[in-house]
Structure 1
Amino acid sequence: MAIILAAPANAGEAVLYGPAPDWVDAATLDLVDVEDAPSTLIYDWQQRLEDGVVTEYEDAAIRIDNPELLMDHGTVSLSWLPDKGDLTVHRVEIIRAGQSIDVIGGGTQFEVIRRERGLEQRLLDGQLTATLAVSGLQVDDILRVTHSVTVDDQALGDEMQASQYLFQEPWQVGFSRAIVSWPEDSEVYWRAEDVAGVEPPVVVDGYKTLTIALPIDELPDMPGDAPSRFNRDPVLRVGTFANWQDLSRAFAPHYQVAAQVADNSDVAAKAREIMAATRDPLERTALAVRLVQDEVSYLLNGLDGGNYMPQSAEETWEKRYGDCKAKSVLLYSLLSQMGIDAIPVLVSTRGGDAIPELLPIPGNFDHMIVRANIDGTDYWLDGTSTATRLSNIGEVPAFFYALPLPVAGADLVPMTQRRKASPDMVMEATSDYSAGIDFPALFSLTMKISGPQGATLRAAADEADEEQLKRFASSFASGPGGALTSVSLSYDDDRALGILTAEGIMASDFSWADGRMRLSSDQTDKFAFNPDRARPEWRNIPVQTGGPQYNRVNASVILPEGMDDFEVTGDAVIDEGFANTAIYGTRAIEGNVIRFSVDVWNDLGEIPASELPAHKRKVRQLNALEAEVLAPEDFAWRWEIDSATLAKRVKPLLDAYDRAVDFSAADDWGPLTQRATFKAQIFDWDGVLADLDTLIANQPSAYLHSWRGGVHEALGDREAAIADAQAAYDLDPSTYFALNLAELLAYGGKRDEALDLLADLPVSDDEEGSYASTFATVAGLAGRTDDAIAALEEQVADKPTNASVLNADCWFRGLFNVQPEAALSSCTKAIERATNSAPMLDSRAMVSYRMGDYDAALSDLDSALELAPGLSASLYLRGIVRLEKGDKAGRTDVERALRMAPELAAKYAMHGVVPKN
């Protein structure tokens, strides 16, 4: 074995030139109708396995049809591993108008460079690349390149392997095939997917020969959620290994030798240090894994047979770098020094469930880890991973099968999954509604991410760049009403936890529905499992489930103190599951705090097709579960709270918005926008105006000008409102901003100017209803009532079932008191057809008020406010109607409505709709 490890490779780093091997069955262009064929005229692959050497021959002929192909093929690149064999160029030929130009014969030769394209990914694969710029190549030429590469792998000794991807339809090629041959008396095995339709080998001149015409038939479609063995690529595999034990025995000696270290070596000393730290073999194992992961950097070193030949444990520790083989050998050595039963194993990181169905060749595997057995339990240890600790050392990676490498050889062993014992992610979230459930909530959030995923946060935590954190905060708190006041990132190396903490303010998750404020835990579509097995050919294909993954969410909701009679619906404990997913949730109530905890496990595995209907039903049942927090029916809205109490309750929220503004990045105006929005919610119009002034000074937009115009109107400054509406329209001359400007001009006494604006306004079919409503209002204020009615009647005739058009007719007649009795039909139809009927009910109430039917008006207004309690216009009109009926409670309605929308008083007064003293 020492001789094997030390022997120099019998290969060269120079490109060889010569004829193709005698055994090659050379393709000719006569096989191809060059004129009608696609640009790829020939792709011919031939491989021979003999005397421990695999020779790979390739012949490619490309017609240069266009400048793009000229650029793509103007430089020829050929790669090989010089420690394993040679590159021999047989032909580089240009065929032009039927004449051959011998590029190599003309004295041009390849230049050799060492491939280092992967160094930034810590990859050094040992390949050399020979390049040749094809001088004189032109469009319409045919470029033909023929070469062969030999592979005599040191790690395999006399054993050999070869594989060939079998291209399938609709790949376009003139002539293509794959040929693999070996001596008739050699023990060589082959296997390909059944769907590839590969015929058994035939004997040609004493060699068993497989010949496959390419492309093969297109493979049948497979569902994307099928196990990978159903979706694997068509590959022909050929090798000299009779079984997995043969393959294991061929590899094992190299790793046994590489793992041996002297008693006085640094590796042995490290093992003794670990043993001195703890007597527990599992803790010792965890410390050894951590040592290899943290103190030996990753470098794929493919030089000098390194693809399969391992670096020794002592060399790896000395150099402090190595690939998966080197790290596994070091870990194996450490564990062996400590008397822990361990062995290196080969695994496949992709498609591992298919391994038992494949021909035993080394090319099936792309990774190496170590299996340790402690007290009868297998532990799968990956030295190239990160953040392995005692808490997660028992996790089983999703590799499905492993091939151990003892000297005596071994068969494949399944890597049996077990449920994760500790979460990959724990989220702790608190929402504080102490100010009120119709206000934004203060929130705090902590996410603890463990294992390799959490380790990705280590570098960011070390950087601790405040501006980056602020920008992260901006994206994190996107959405209305949300802003962060602080965010931090840290990494706990001992526990291998990335920890993200954030505090801030968020929009209320309570919403008004069916007469109650509700915080809903709506499971609809939260869980999904709907695999498609409708096709007859798919009906027996199982479903692959993802994993392993384990997440935990702990959430607390703090309710306002003093507000009693909150109701909580739904089960206090949920213990359910479907399709290798398990959910365990609990709910507890402690005073004014509701605590929720949910654990979700996603286990790697398969679901038989026969069991899919049951799992689908289970998902529907889970998604049908409902849990709600219901507020008391008589809770007080923010506009119902006196000013002093309101100011006290919202102070913590205002302070949070102030902190969010201070915390935000210099060019992040989101928190200031959210603060302005909140000030509008608490009716601080002067405060809103001040924030909008700052926003417009720094990032003017049509939206912000329009918003500020509305604030000016609320404060009674109509000229300023018109100026902002004009600025919005100038920035964005859309119909929406034009209609807003026209209405403000009309209420500001500039009716002719408003009509001129509307006269020249281009209006799409979808905008005609809104246009007619605004035109009617402007025309009505200008005294052109007949024109207003005509415009609305035209729209109603054109769109007789459109709720918005019908409502516009109803609202105008009521507001302007024009033939109100004729409006009732439109009003009722609008209500019947509306998705949200609150505005339509408000319009009909105005008509009933004009007709003196106060009871009908009150009934509609009560209904509108039940649907939308914050509809200030309905609250204002209800107050007026109540006062007309002698109900002094109407004064309270009026005051509350004007608190929300002060502009209502002046606007309604212009139509003679005023509260009775």
Structure 2
Amino acid sequence: MAVFLAGSCLGLASPAIAADAPSYAAPAAWVVPTTGPLPAGDAATPWLLSDSQVLIEADKRSTFNDHAYRIASADALRNWDDLQFVWQPDRDDLIVHRLEIIRGGATIDLLAQGLKLTVLRREKDFEQKTIDGLLTATAAIEDLRVGDTVRFAVTLVERSDVLAGNSEAIVDVQAKPAAIAQGSVRVLWPKDLPVKWKAFGKGVAPVEQDKGGYHILSQAQPVVKQDEMPADAPLRYRRPPGLEFSTFPNWTDLSRTIAPLYATAGTVKEGGTLAAAIDRIAAATADPKARAAQALALVQNEVRYLYNGLANGNYVPQSPEATWSLRYGDCKAKTLLLLAALDRLGVAARPTLVHSTLGDALSQRLPTLGAFDHVIVQATIDGTDYWLDGTTAGTHIEDLADVPPFAHALPLTADGHDLAPLPVRQPARPQMTVSIAYDQSAGTAFPPLFDLDFTMRGELAARLATMKAQATPEQLRDMAQGVLSDFVNNGQIHTRSIEVDEARGTTTLRASGIGNLLWKRDEPRPYLPLDGLISDFEVRADRTRAAWRDIPVSGGGASLLVRHIRLKLPARPGFATEGDAQADMTIGGIRLRRDARLDGAKLDQSESIWTSGAEIATADLPAARAQTAAAKQREFRIRAPEGYPSRAEEIAEAKKAKRLAPLLAAYQKAIDDDPEEANGYLNRAVFYSGIFEPRAAIADVGEALKRDADADTYLRRAGLYFDTGDFALSLADAEKALELDPGSESATDFQIRLLAELARYDEALAIVDERIATAKDKRGWVGLKADTLGKAGRAEEGAVLLDEALAARPGDANLLNELCWLKGTRAFALESALKECTRAIELTDEPAQVLDSRAMVFFRLGRFEEARADLDAALKISPSVPGSLYLRGIILLRGNDREGGQADLALARLQQGRIDAEYAKFGIKP
């Protein structure tokens, strides 16, 4: 157990008057010890006792802790850690009072037996650039057994002269379901000490009394379970329960008290190297804003960050000369160095305390130095305030006016200053800009070529620039792919670079490759959604609970993101925009803007999202949701012209016109970029498969398997072999997939179908029977068995199986369709098949497949016009389905429409080279 930890960048300071080893003594007179037997406790409450008492005095704070922990099980014993007590030796005293084992009602006094704590110095956060100087006293307890209770009590005395006679304390109060059987918090101070206090949390209502010259607050713990809060509530609503104490009358007094620590007079040595560095800035420019930017760059770039909590380091900054000489410092040291530089450059500035994460709660807190964990500089130039943080990196002059996400700040001035809210201000430049140029001139059926620029500024840009300097080519490739994957949907990058523009303070990651824009084909004219503003925008805040109705929604961090898109479309007239090509709306504190212009086959589009970080009042949520819903109805998209070819037709046209060479060249570049990576071959295999060239795809999948053999890749090649009619090779790959993944239902399904294609019906039926016997949902396997029986010449048996399944689920559209298709392809019970297909059409939301099945039945019945009507309807929904095209082609040929029939057959054969053989098995030929 650790009883004290230092702060992150700020922490209490004092002169070196304390000890570097614990002392051993009885508790001070102000402590009221817990007497009497400990509660029994149970497995859920191993902490039998948790008693904390705090004495606040003008020059120090003393914290007494008395805890008892029961080792209730062997698991608890195995997980027991040695006791640890942590303190700052230059200003704290650690006093050990009690260290006992209670066993079977008897008390074993370990201190009386001579146990002494071992003192260690461990810089546990050194990797996070922190030297805190903390000491740790550990107690290794021997012969600890299940059923023992360990009881220990210590006092930590902390002193500070930084607070100039003031005192403060922040005390946590445990809440249920904390594992404490009995606990209390007691805080006291001399009655003449002007302490203000404040309680936070449900059930925190301490009892007050005056006794023995002290004012005393007492609170039992754990208090009641705290109300659940929405995850998007501002942090001030999610603060854990506790108590705060302060003798500062107000924030102004705190500001005035701390301000002298950052006085700059005489801190820069004339004639020294620091003065020379600052004077070079003065000689370079007279513009105060440029001077401030260069001074900030000096502190950010020339002095590395290292938190120093040694000696007086927690709140007292080291001198600018020391920081410059050491070339390291924490937020305090960097702030004082920057203040000294700005003072010498004639720029008005002052130190400002902030909290890096809990700034929105500051306005509800008492004035304490412990409420802050960071300090920055507030400069004023030509009436504008600038908040400058020497611990960040990459701040450029154009970005000086950016407002950090700290919500509130306390300027430190000689006259004192009140807590101030930080303003909301849109940045002059976006934090991130994404520019993508797509070339989709080959057709909407194909992935586009792309060139992408991802530009960052600020700390992220500086980090990326450092990574560039240190990364190997392989690391650079992996980093680029990882960073850009969100911007390039299923894309393949073949070229990339990182460019650092020091003059602009930006880093740009450039990449080229082949990506994927997802044209939707669920309507007669294909369309491409390009709405990066509203398509994924949601107001998800839940305020339906009565207790949450007045809790605002956190606005998150402020940011400005910009996206530019240039799109080269196929050279076909009639492309048009739909929705809001120009938009400027603010929803829930987020401003969304778009300007998109289509000129012939070229689209230029710019979008920006400015998130202010402002909270959203609950009363404003309905309007924000209504705005979102209305904007989604006007989603921006590109629409293809009337009569635009189907996907299969477009592929046939492109292949005939030889428009695919640049795309294949891009895939080859991606492979050459990393020849030992399987992904490049797999991506090209997907492309080949998509343009109906399975043999070329097989070659690429084979190369991928040489590099990374897994079940999915074997299954992919099995499918390609199936498309070419190489059933034996397909089965071999399916069985390899099953060896690697024995539970794969996809591989088993494939195995059964392939065995049937190879006329190994008994084997296929045996496997599918095993699956039916063990599956919870048997419908898919029953359908597969019926199909296998049909291939084996036993279609009537398959129909009986499907009828039995339908008896249990009479409204199952898939089962009805499978029964109709079985009867239609095997030419039996056609009148009942018509009824089953018609019923399935009525029940399904996706009727194209069932219309195709009913067309087969009509065809068998010689009702060609009705078959043609169903096929037309199916192809209107799914224009490129090979089976529907093939059957319609046959019907058109029989109706003397030779041109139309041959066109349909050609498209069907383009997509499925085996389709003639497939339909010949049904006895159907052109």
Report the TM-score, using the length of structure 2 for normalisation. Answer: 0.92
Give the drift of 1:754: 4.7
Which of 551, 556, 559 lines up with 2:566 in the alignment? 556
Describe the shift of the 1:29–1:503 C-alpha distance in structure 2 as closer, same or farther (beyond 3 A).
farther
Q: Which amino acid aligns with 1:661?
A: I
Describe the shift of the 1:231–1:686 C-alpha distance in structure 2 as closer, same or farther (beyond 3 A).
closer
- What SS does structure 2 have at the residue aligned with 1:406? coil
- Equivalent in the alignment of 2:700: 691
Q: For 2:647 and 2:690, how far apart are their aligned partners in 1?
A: 8
Describe the shift of the 1:644–1:839 C-alpha distance in structure 2 as closer, same or farther (beyond 3 A).
closer
- Equivalent in the alignment of 1:336: 343
Query: Counterparts in 2 of 1:853-864, with a 5 A limit?
Result: 853-864=863-874
Q: For 1:725 and 1:298, how far apart are their aligned partners in 2?
A: 57
Which of 148, 165, 186 lines up with 2:155 in the alignment? 148
Q: Which amino acid aligns with 1:629?
A: I
**Contact persistence 1:113–1:129 (CA under 8 A):** yes
User: Percent identical across equivalent pairs?
Assistant: 37
Which of 384, 400, 405 lines up with 2:412 in the alignment? 405
- Equivalent in the alignment of 1:137: 144
Query: Counterparts in 2 of 1:536-555, with a 5 A limit?
Result: 536-555=546-565
Query: Counterparts in 2 of 1:308-347, with a 5 A limit?
Result: 308-347=315-354
Which has the higher mean CA deviation after the structures are superposed, 491-500 or 441-450? 491-500
- Equivalent in the alignment of 1:278: 285
- What SS does structure 1 have at the residue aligned with 2:494? strand
Q: For 1:322 and 1:723, how far apart are their aligned partners in 2?
A: 66
Which has the higher mean CA deviation after the structures are superposed, 372-381 or 481-490? 481-490
Q: For 1:837 and 1:567, how far apart are their aligned partners in 2?
A: 29
- Equivalent in the alignment of 2:219: 212
- Equivalent in the alignment of 1:375: 382
Describe the shift of the 1:611–1:756 C-alpha distance in structure 2 as closer, same or farther (beyond 3 A).
closer
Say whether residues 1:446 and 2:453 are aligned partners. yes
Say whether residues 1:829 and 2:836 are aligned partners. no
- How many residue pairs end up in the alignment? 909
Q: For 1:870 and 1:169, how far apart are their aligned partners in 2?
A: 62
Say whether residues 1:20 and 2:36 are aligned partners. no
Q: Which amino acid aligns with 2:427?
A: K
- Equivalent in the alignment of 1:811: 821
Q: For 1:295 and 1:503, how far apart are their aligned partners in 2?
A: 35
Give the drift of 1:906: 1.4
- Equivalent in the alignment of 1:54: 61
Q: For 2:405 and 2:720, how far apart are their aligned partners in 1?
A: 59
- Equivalent in the alignment of 2:434: 427
- Equivalent in the alignment of 2:8: none
Q: Which amino acid aligns with 2:28?
A: P
Say whether residues 1:679 and 2:688 are aligned partners. yes
**Contact persistence 1:474–1:664 (CA under 8 A):** no
Which string of whole-angstrom CA distances, capped at 9 and with x for unpartnered residues, describes residues 193-224 of structure 1?
A: 37454346422111222222222333333333
- What SS does structure 2 have at the residue aligned with 1:692? helix
Describe the shift of the 1:508–1:383 C-alpha distance in structure 2 as closer, same or farther (beyond 3 A).
closer
Q: For 2:358 and 2:832, how far apart are their aligned partners in 1?
A: 73
Q: For 1:35 and 1:581, how far apart are their aligned partners in 2?
A: 51
Q: For 1:459 and 1:195, how far apart are their aligned partners in 2?
A: 48
Gaps of 5+ in 1: none
- What SS does structure 2 have at the residue aligned with 1:11? coil
- Equivalent in the alignment of 2:917: 906
Which has the higher mean CA deviation after the structures are superposed, 13-22 or 730-739? 730-739
Give the drift of 1:270: 1.9
Q: Which amino acid aligns with 2:604?
A: R
- Equivalent in the alignment of 1:9: 16
Q: Which amino acid aligns with 2:641?
A: P
- Equivalent in the alignment of 1:603: 612
- Equivalent in the alignment of 1:162: 169
Gaps of 5+ in 2: 1-11
**Contact persistence 1:78–1:130 (CA under 8 A):** yes
- Equivalent in the alignment of 1:885: 895
**Contact persistence 1:258–1:312 (CA under 8 A):** no
Q: For 1:96 and 1:777, how far apart are their aligned partners in 2?
A: 73
Q: For 2:13 and 2:578, how far apart are their aligned partners in 1?
A: 74
Q: For 1:803 and 1:832, how far apart are their aligned partners in 2?
A: 8
Which string of whole-angstrom CA distances, capped at 9 and with x for unpartnered residues, describes residues 297-347 of structure 1?
A: 111111112111111111111111111111100001000111111111111
- What SS does structure 2 have at the residue aligned with 1:146? strand
Q: Which amino acid aligns with 1:880?
A: I
Q: Which amino acid aligns with 1:228?
A: L
Q: For 2:498 and 2:451, how far apart are their aligned partners in 1?
A: 14
Say whether residues 1:305 and 2:316 are aligned partners. no
**Contact persistence 2:433–2:456 (CA under 8 A):** yes
CA RMSD, Structure 1 to Structure 2 (Å): 2.8
Query: Counterparts in 2 of 1:839-858, with a 5 A limit?
Result: 839-858=849-868
Q: For 1:750 and 1:221, how far apart are their aligned partners in 2?
A: 62
Give the drift of 1:574: 0.3
Describe the shift of the 1:289–1:230 C-alpha distance in structure 2 as closer, same or farther (beyond 3 A).
same
**Contact persistence 1:113–1:128 (CA under 8 A):** yes
- Equivalent in the alignment of 1:188: 195
Q: For 1:95 and 1:723, how far apart are their aligned partners in 2?
A: 69
Describe the shift of the 1:823–1:49 C-alpha distance in structure 2 as closer, same or farther (beyond 3 A).
closer
- What SS does structure 2 have at the residue aligned with 1:25? coil
- What SS does structure 1 have at the residue aligned with 2:922? coil
Describe the shift of the 1:16–1:651 C-alpha distance in structure 2 as closer, same or farther (beyond 3 A).
same
- Equivalent in the alignment of 1:464: 471
- What SS does structure 1 have at the residue aligned with 2:554? strand
Query: Counterparts in 2 of 1:597-676, with a 5 A limit?
Result: 597-637=606-646, 639-640=648-649, 645-646=655-656, 648-664=658-674, 666=676, 668-676=677-685
- Equivalent in the alignment of 1:866: 876
Q: For 2:220 and 2:577, how far apart are their aligned partners in 1?
A: 69
Q: For 2:13 and 2:368, how far apart are their aligned partners in 1?
A: 24
Q: Which amino acid aligns with 2:864?
A: Y
Describe the shift of the 1:35–1:654 C-alpha distance in structure 2 as closer, same or farther (beyond 3 A).
closer
Q: For 1:580 and 1:6, how far apart are their aligned partners in 2?
A: 41
Describe the shift of the 1:827–1:455 C-alpha distance in structure 2 as closer, same or farther (beyond 3 A).
same
Which of 500, 504, 510 lines up with 2:519 in the alignment? 510
Which of 367, 372, 386 lines up with 1:365 in the alignment? 372
Q: Which amino acid aligns with 2:109?
A: D
**Contact persistence 1:259–1:312 (CA under 8 A):** no
**Contact persistence 2:438–2:566 (CA under 8 A):** yes
Which has the higher mean CA deviation after the structures are superposed, 796-805 or 777-786? 777-786
Query: Counterparts in 2 of 1:587-602, with a 5 A limit?
Result: 587-602=596-611
Q: Which amino acid aligns with 2:698?
A: L
Q: For 2:142 and 2:733, how far apart are their aligned partners in 1?
A: 68
- Equivalent in the alignment of 2:538: 528
Describe the shift of the 1:131–1:736 C-alpha distance in structure 2 as closer, same or farther (beyond 3 A).
closer
- Equivalent in the alignment of 1:797: 807
Describe the shift of the 1:183–1:506 C-alpha distance in structure 2 as closer, same or farther (beyond 3 A).
same
- Equivalent in the alignment of 1:250: 257
Q: For 1:682 and 1:807, how far apart are their aligned partners in 2?
A: 29
Q: Which amino acid aligns with 1:466?
A: P
Say whether residues 1:783 and 2:789 are aligned partners. no
Q: For 2:201 and 2:884, how far apart are their aligned partners in 1?
A: 73
Describe the shift of the 1:83–1:770 C-alpha distance in structure 2 as closer, same or farther (beyond 3 A).
closer
Q: For 1:782 and 1:886, how far apart are their aligned partners in 2?
A: 35
Report the TM-score, using the length of structure 1 for normalisation. Answer: 0.93
**Contact persistence 1:154–1:305 (CA under 8 A):** no
Describe the shift of the 1:36–1:763 C-alpha distance in structure 2 as closer, same or farther (beyond 3 A).
closer
Q: Which amino acid aligns with 2:801?
A: A
Give the drift of 1:817: 2.0
- Equivalent in the alignment of 1:396: 403
Give the drift of 1:448: 0.9
**Contact persistence 2:307–2:331 (CA under 8 A):** yes
Q: For 2:105 and 2:280, how far apart are their aligned partners in 1?
A: 75
Which has the higher mean CA deviation after the structures are superposed, 195-204 or 458-467? 195-204
Give the drift of 1:847: 1.4
**Contact persistence 1:638–1:646 (CA under 8 A):** no
Q: For 2:748 and 2:545, how far apart are their aligned partners in 1?
A: 55
Say whether residues 1:296 and 2:303 are aligned partners. yes
Give the drift of 1:408: 2.7
Q: For 2:179 and 2:768, how far apart are their aligned partners in 1?
A: 61
